[in-house]
Amino acid sequence: MTIHSLDYTLGEAERIGAAIGAVLRPGDIIALSGDLGAGKTTLARAMLKARGLAGEAPSPTFAIVQPYAPPEIDMPIAHVDLYRIEDVGELIELGLDDYLYDGALLIEWPERLGDGGWPGMLDLVISGSGDARVLTASVPPAWEARWPL
Ligand SMILES: Nc1ncnc2c1ncn2[C@@H]1O[C@H](COP(=O)(O)OP(=O)(O)O)[C@@H](O)[C@H]1O
Ligand SMILES: [Mg+2]
């Protein structure tokens, strides 16, 4: 596991998200942590755009799981926001594992998974506010060779 940290502005968020999105593969899980308004959805949107999604992806805060599939995007990706999840039973109903056979998961508020995360997740934490955000990535072995930043 290697830790990478970088500062970025809103203007750079698109490029950063796109770089990560471009190397995404089926079976991948990206955890996006940080306070409300940290910039999690902004990065997820840039990843989805890099995979071909036209228009701005909605925040999945209310849908909880927003799945995308070809042809609107070039591989299946489910954009997930677990903010409203209150207990582990609700998580089971979401069936998130099923997306991993041929797709990837982008998960905001992964803290709600409790101990039930997945090994090999790419953990992205956003901190800071205003125009100065910091992205801290814990890059697991499965991502080491393709980490783009
Ligand atoms: N690097 C950044 N610098 C400045 N503002 C940013 C940055 N990234 C995101 N923002 C802004 O922060 C606000 C919240 O972003 P959002 O992605 O919805 O946060 P979250 O999903 O973490 O709640 C948006 O107005 C967005 O434009
Ligand atoms: Mg969000």
What confidence tens digit (pLDDT) does each residue in 89-126 have?
899 899 999 999 999 999 999 999 987 788 899 999 99
Which domain CATH number covers 8?
3.40.50.300
Could you tell me if residue 40 is inside a domain? Answer: yes
In a domain, 72, yes or no: yes
**H helices present in 32-87, as ranges:** 40-50
Indicate whether 148 belongs to any domain: no
Q: Measured between alpha carbons, how far is 136 from 92 in angstroms, rounded to an integer?
A: 28
- Protein residues near ligand 2, an ion, with CB under 5 A: 40-41, 59, 108
Range of the domain at 135: 4-143
> Does residue 135 have its Cβ closer than 6 Å to ligand 1?
no
- In tens, the pLDDT along 78-88 reads 999 999 999 88
Is 88 within 8 Å of 11 (Cβ atoms)?
Answer: no
Tally the domains of the chain.
1
Q: What average pLDDT does the segment 20-35 reach?
A: 97
What's the confidence (pLDDT) of residue 119? 86
pTM for the full predicted model: 0.97
